[in-house]
Structure 1
Amino acid sequence: MVALVPTEAHGDERGALLNFIEAQRAAIRRAAHGLTEEQAASRPSASELSLSGLLKHVAEVELNWLRLAQERPNERQRTQETWGDAFRLVEDETIPAVLDFWAGVAKETEEFVRSVPSLDDTFPLPKAPWFPEDGRVSVRWMLLHLVQEGARHAGHADIVRESLDGRTSFELIAAEQGR
């Protein structure tokens, strides 16, 4: 797996945006490469973040934005009582299960983006103090936001991983490629 987004990007804007999102997904997944569940759940820095918690969070955030764009209910929507569980694995959750869930979300995101008539199509934002009242965003905006969200958390994941065992993203890319 390379660290750069492929330049061919499927020849269109949708493909380019999806490739940039996938590059950020891969960076976050890579940060957990070769770790045990216990290592991935640890919080070795000043932050409350763990790698397994980041994996779960970004998967659920992507699903939430997808459901908003589809104007469908999110079956995994969190209540205030469970919001803290968004950043840690609970009960029988495991890294492989979270990765499988995220792969399904990623596939569904790509199918939706490929099928939407226009990236300029808009959908309403939910009521929240951080969104404008009666706000709407385009599918393009959502995709750019997913790139931003992924990049932010990929950086967090790099710091957490390096704090755990000193391994950097370039070392992890080589390890994934068997080098």
Structure 2
Amino acid sequence: MVTHVSPEADGDERGALLSFLEEERGGIRRALIGLTAEQAASRPTASALSLSGLIKHVAEVEQGWIARARQERPAVKRDQSNWHECFVLVGDETVEEQLAYWEKVAAETEAFIRSVPSLDETFPLPDDPWFPPEGRVSIRWTMLHLIRETARHAGHADIIRESLDGATAFELVAREQAG
């Protein structure tokens, strides 16, 4: 798991973008170290966010944006009727399943980003009221957006974890490195 990015690790812009995204993914995954399913689902802050819900959300968001970039439909369609379900595990969903799904999504993201002819290629934005009509964005914008989205939620994960048991990101990295 990446804990610190060397932007030159892969020698190119795609490698740098993918490395930064993976670093932020790692921040969220680390927040789960040593927790039970109940702790991961708990909401110890004023926010309605939980660690298990964050995992599900970032995986769905990443998959959705890469699907759009491929000009495909996202695997999960969210609207006002089910938007709340992207932040909580429902039914028999588990943290382990969500982590495995996110790992699959991450591999698909990397394969797509490595295969697209140019990061300058554009695709249409979804027909949602918060996007400009007939707007388009580049693959590069998509990667930067995913980094920003994941980083924002990695910060949430830090706060949630510290609220649960006082563990900080630095302590969790040390635990992870200790094995």
TM-score by shorter chain over 0.5: yes
> Hey, what does 1:105 align to over in structure 2?
105
Equivalent positions of 1:14-53 (< 5 A) are 14-53=14-53
> Hey, what does 1:71 align to over in structure 2?
71
* Cα gap change, 1:21 to 1:2, in 2 (>3 Å): closer
> Hey, what does 1:176 align to over in structure 2?
176
Output the TM-score relative to the length of structure 2: 0.96
Which runs of 5 or more residues in structure 2 are unaligned?
A: none
Q: Aligned residues: percent identity? A: 63
Report the CA distance between 1:37 and its aligned residue. 0.5
Report the CA distance between 1:6 and its aligned residue. 2.4
Is 1:123 equivalent to 2:98 in the alignment?
no
> Hey, what does 1:95 align to over in structure 2?
95
Asked if 1 retains the 8 angstrom alpha-carbon contact of 2:65 and 2:74, the reply is no
Aligned partner of residue 10 in structure 1, secondary structure: coil
AA aligned to 1:155 is G
Which runs of 5 or more residues in structure 1 are unaligned?
A: none
Report the CA distance between 1:2 and its aligned residue. 5.5
Matched residues in 1 for 2:147 and 2:94: separation?
Answer: 25
Asked if 2 retains the 8 angstrom alpha-carbon contact of 1:2 and 1:173, the reply is no
Matched residues in 2 for 1:141 and 1:7: separation?
Answer: 17
> Hey, what does 2:56 align to over in structure 1?
56
Aligned length: 179
Output the TM-score relative to the length of structure 1: 0.96
- The ranges of structure 1 where at least 4 consecutive aligned residues each deviate by more than 4 angstroms after the TM superposition are none
AA aligned to 2:136 is R
